[in-house]
A and B are shown apart, each in its own frame.
Chain A
Amino acid sequence: MFDWRWDFTFEILPRLLWATVNTLMAAGIGYAIAVVLGLVLALAQRTSFKPLTYAVRELVEFIRSTPLVLQIFFVFYVGPQFGIRLAPWTAGMIAIGLHYASYLSEVYRGGLESVPKGQWEASLALNLSPARTYFRIIIPQALPPSLAGMGNYLVGIFKDTPMLSVIGVAELMHTANAIGSESYRFLEPYTLVGVIFLAISLPTAALIRVFEAWVRRQLGMN
């Protein structure tokens, strides 16, 4: 390409690769929060206490249908108004974790609902405790249909981390912006960010498909 400077590319590459570590960390922490919180949100909708079900259902719908970037701003700026100061990292992890928790809760819900009713009845007939029913009977069967969705959202959370740059989390996009405003060169940093994203998300998506097939085989489902 006519204006591409390789010397500049190699000058900024180490900096971008370091920022990639932050991006991966943000995605990892956010996903860990989402996996656990999502299960809580999914199970909260399965209790016999109806008001809780409706409240959680509505909360999940609300979070899913509003923009993540706005939620990040909301979490970051609303705290100080009431005297709670959150660091950009903390606010970012809360926002992105909560956002993806609501997506994952839907994945779990679908997985749990795909387990045939007879499995619950059989567990009841065998006098298994609720905990044992969940961990030994239901979740192993609910997991494989959930894995594809969980994998998609793992890649999804990774691709949404650039939004954290708006509150100053020093991830990949934030670093590319900084390089751009220091050097007035946008071609190389932004293109490299795109290439790094592709180089991580494509193999990850392929690995997830392999992993999913492996789990299904392990559980004897194919």
Chain B
Amino acid sequence: MSYFEFLAEYGPRFVDGAAVTALQTVLAAVLAIAIAVAMGLMRLSRNVPVRWFATVYVEIFRGTSLLVQLYWIFFVLPLFGITMEKFTAGFVAVGMNLGAYGAELVRGAILSVPKGQWEAALALNMSPAKRMVRVIFPQAFLAMLPPWGNLLIELLKGTALVSLISVADLMFEAKQINSTTFLSAQAFGTALVIYYVMSRFLITPFMRWLERVMARKMGRA
């Protein structure tokens, strides 16, 4: 079977798989960003229990593997009465894991905002919430965008693991096609190229664009 025949026959399944991967990526990214902002801010809180909770969360999720967390969420959580569908369990695990890494980026970026900005906001009698929302966070946001680009690629790669709890993503389709056709180079090779295109020609340009837009909005272009 030539490669073109292979693509003609199995192309639609790769497309279906890629769509599931894209959806998993978007949902996991939304969750990861929410967790990262919440945990990043909590790690800077002056309230000790709040800070400790966030630290423990970050250390647990960064100290163990995504695969371990995924299996734990899918196979063990039901024993505690929390049953998730495999699709949900997939993006929840990926989002919670990458959210812990993101929390460190948020924390670092907020700490990198010059001290004078905090003092100026205080001198202007801004409330702590307003100071964070209007002055500190926008500047931190700009600073953390480049590392978030890398993190989103890690997140896309992480979604490949959801195939192991049989979510029908790109990786899962590649495995299925491989086991029916035994054309491993074509099946896995095509999937590799699709992942590469997604991260190099979708995520990276999107993040570059976002960096430019945000820099312009902040008057730093």
Contacts and interface: CB of A to CB of B under 8 A. Distances in A.
Interface of A: 3, 61-62, 64-71, 73-74, 77-78, 80-82, 159-163, 165-166, 173, 176-177, 180, 186-187, 190-191, 193-194, 197-198, 201-202, 205
B140 interface: no
B172 to A, nearest CB: 11
Contacts of A205: 63
Nearest to B200: A65
Contacts of B192: 62, 66, 70-71, 74
Contacts of A3: 79
A74 B195 CA distance: 13
A86 to B, nearest CB: 12
Contacts of A68: 157
Contact of B184 (A78, A159, A176): A78
A166 B164 contact: yes
B64 A186 contact: no
Given A70-B195, A71-B192, A190 B68 contact: yes
Interface residues on B, range: 35 or more
A190 B80 CA distance: 14
Interface in B131-167: 153, 156-161, 163-164
A174 to B, nearest CB: 11
A166 B166 CA distance: 13
| Dominant secondary structure at the A interface | helix
Given A62-B196, A166-B164, A202-B59, 11 more contacts: A65-B200, A66-B195, A66-B196, A67-B158, A73-B175, A74-B188, A81-B183, A163-B67, A173-B67, A186-B71, A194-B72
Interface in B170-197: 171, 174-175, 178, 182-185, 188-189, 191-192, 195-196
Nearest to A82: B185
Contacts of B63: 159, 197-198, 201-202, 205
